[in-house]
Chain A
Amino acid sequence: MDALLEVRNVSKRFGAVEALKDVSVSLAPGEVLGVVGDNGAGKSTLMKVISGAHPPDSGELRLAGQPASFASPRAARQAGIEMIYQDLALADHLDVGANIFLGREPLRRLAGVVPVIDDATVRAEVVALLGRIESHIPDPETRVLALSGGQRQAVAIARALYWKAKVVIMDEPTAALAAIESRNVLRMARSLARDGVGILFIDHNLLEVLEVCDRVAVMYRGSKVYECRASETSQDELVRYMTGFSVQGAAVPA
Chain B
Amino acid sequence: MSVESLSVTAYPRQSRRTRLLQELRQLAFALASIIALTIIFALLNARFMSPVNWYHIAQQVAIIAILAVGQTFVIATAGIDISQGSVVALTAMISALAAVNLGMPPIVAVLLTLLAGALVGLVMGLTITTLGVPPFIATLGMLAVALGGALLTTNGTPVFGLPQGFLVIAQGDFLGFPHMAWIALILALIAAFVLNRTRFGRYTLAIGSNAESARRAGIDVRRHLTLIYVLAGATSALAGIVYVAYTAAAQPTAGQNYELYSIAAVVIGGGSLFGGVGTILGSVLGALLMTILRNGTELAGISPYVEQVILGVVVVGAVYVDNLRRRLR
Closest to A98 in B: B202
The answer, among A98, A110, A141, for a CB contact under 8 Å with B16, is: A141
B149 in the interface (beta carbon within 8 A): no
> B69 to chain A: closest CB distance in Å?
19
A146 nearest in chain B by CB position: B329
B130 sits at the interface (CB 8 A): no
What 1/0 mask marks residues of chain B from 293 to 329 whose CB sits below 8 Å from any chain A CB? 0000000000000000000000000000000000001
CB under 8 Å from chain B, chain A span 121-169: 123-124, 127-128, 131, 139-142, 145
B209 near A107 with CB under 8 A, answer no
Assess the B4–A131 pair: CB atoms within 8 A. Answer: yes
Contact (Cβ within 8 A) A105 B202: yes
Q: How far is the CA of A124 from the CA of B12 in the complex (A)?
A: 10
The 8 Å CB contact of B206, one of A102, A124, A139, is A102
Q: Is B135 part of the contact surface with A, judged by Cβ < 8 Å? A: no
The reply on A194 being an interface residue by CB < 8 A is no
Seen from chain B, the residues whose Cβ lies within 8 Å of a Cβ on chain A are 3-4, 7-8, 11-12, 14-16, 18-19, 197-199, 202, 205-206, 208-210, 212-214, 216-219, 275-277, 329
Residues of B within 8 A of A139 (CB): 11, 14-15, 18
Chain B residue nearest to A131 in the complex (CB): B4
For the complex, give the distance between the alpha carbons of A90 and B276 in Å: 12
List 10 A-B pairs, minimum CB-CB distance, nearest first: A93-B276, A103-B217, A141-B15, A91-B209, A93-B209, A89-B213, A102-B217, A103-B218, A116-B197, A91-B206
Q: Which residue of B lies closest to A110 (CB)?
A: B197
A-B contact pairs, 8 of them (CB 8 A): A90-B213, A94-B202, A94-B206, A94-B209, A105-B202, A117-B199, A131-B3, A139-B15
CA distance A140 to B7 in the complex (A): 11
The CA of A145 and the CA of B218, in the complex, are separated in Å by 21
- For B19, give the chain A residue with the smallest CB separation: A141
List the B residue with the shortest CB-CB distance to A73.
B216
How many pairs of residues, A versus B, come closer than 8 Å at their CB atoms? 82
Report the separation of the CA atoms of residues A131 and B7 in the bound assembly, to the nearest whole angstrom.
9
The distance in angstroms between the C-alpha atoms of A110 and B217, with both chains bound, is 25
Interface SS of chain B: helix
**Which residues of chain B are within 8 angstroms of A67 by Cβ–Cβ distance?**
none
Residues of A contacting B218 in the complex (Cβ-Cβ under 8 angstroms): 74, 103-104
- Which residues of chain A come closer than 8 Å to B18, judged between CB atoms? 139, 141
B223 to chain A, nearest CB (A): 13
Q: Are B210 and A90 in contact (CB under 8 A)?
A: yes
Q: Considering the complex, give the chain B residue whose CB is closest to the CB of A74.
A: B218
* A65 on the B face (CB < 8 A): no
CA distance A91 to B211 in the complex (A): 8
Residue among B11, B197, B199, B213 with the most chain A CB within 10 A?
B213
A240 CA to B4 CA in the complex, in Å?
47
Nearest Cβ on chain B to A167's Cβ, whole angstroms: 17
In the complex, what distance in Å separates the CA atom of A169 from the CA atom of B3? 31
* Distance from A252 Cβ to chain B, minimum over Cβ atoms (Å): 40
A92 contacts the other chain (CB 8 A): yes
From residue B190, how far is it (CB to closest CB) to chain A in Å? 11
Asked whether any CB of chain B lies closer than 8 Å to the CB of A59, the reply is no
CA distance A104 to B277 in the complex (A): 21
Q: Which of A98, A103, A128, A140 has the most CB of B within 10 A?
A: A103
The smallest beta-carbon distance between B67 and chain A, in angstroms, is 23
The minimal Cβ–Cβ distance linking B207 to chain A, given in whole angstroms, is 8
B210 to chain A minimum Cβ distance, whole angstroms, is 5
B220 to chain A, nearest CB (A): 10
Bound form: Cα–Cα A89–B202 in Å: 16
Q: Which of A51-102 contact B (CB under 8 A)?
A: 74, 89-94, 98, 102
Of the residues B210, B219, B277, B329, contact of A103 by C-beta under 8 Å:
B219
Cα A102 to Cα B199 in complex, Å, equals: 9
A115 within 8 Å of B by Cβ? yes
Known: A93-B276, A93-B277, A127-B4. A102 touches B214 (CB 8 A): yes
- Cβ of B271 to closest chain A Cβ, rounded Å: 11
What CA separation (Å) do A108 and B282 show in the bound complex? 27
Contacts of B217 in A (CB 8 A): 89, 102-104
A93 touches B208 (CB 8 A): yes
In contact, B214 and A123 (Cβ under 8 angstroms):
no
Contact (Cβ within 8 A) B4 A91: no
Given the known interface contacts A93-B277, A103-B218, the answer about A98 and B12 at a Cβ–Cβ threshold of 8 Å is no
Which of B4, B205, B209, B218 lies at the interface centre, i.e. has the most chain A CB atoms within 10 A of its CB? B209
A186 to chain B, nearest CB (A): 24
Q: Closest CB-CB distance, B278 to chain A, in whole Å?
A: 10
Asked if residues A91 and B12 are in contact (CB atoms below 8 Å), the reply is no
A89 x B11 contact (CB < 8 A): no
Do A124 and B8 touch across chains, with their CB atoms under 8 A apart?
Answer: yes
* A-B contacts besides A91-B206, A93-B208, A131-B3, 13 pairs, CB < 8 Å: A90-B213, A91-B210, A116-B197, A117-B198, A117-B202, A123-B11, A123-B12, A127-B8, A127-B11, A139-B14, A139-B18, A141-B12, A141-B18
